[in-house]
Amino acid sequence: MPVLVVNMMEGRTDDQKRLLVEKVTNAVCESLKCESHKVKIIINEMPGNGYAIGGKLMQDTDEKYKKR
């Protein structure tokens, strides 16, 4: 039973997440030759103040977070 963890910034729509898990599940099933009901995916969404690149919080560097 493959378990995948996706860490991403918050802000994606439910439709985007549905498409993501569908395509990731299909890719895992194709490459590992397993059934889709055995693929587990955990999505962790991080706020702009919970993720940093290069010593700077995303909310301080990413334009979409500056507008909030």
Catalytic residue ranges:
2
Tokens of 44: 């962790």
Residues 6+ apart with CB under 8 A from 62: 9, 48
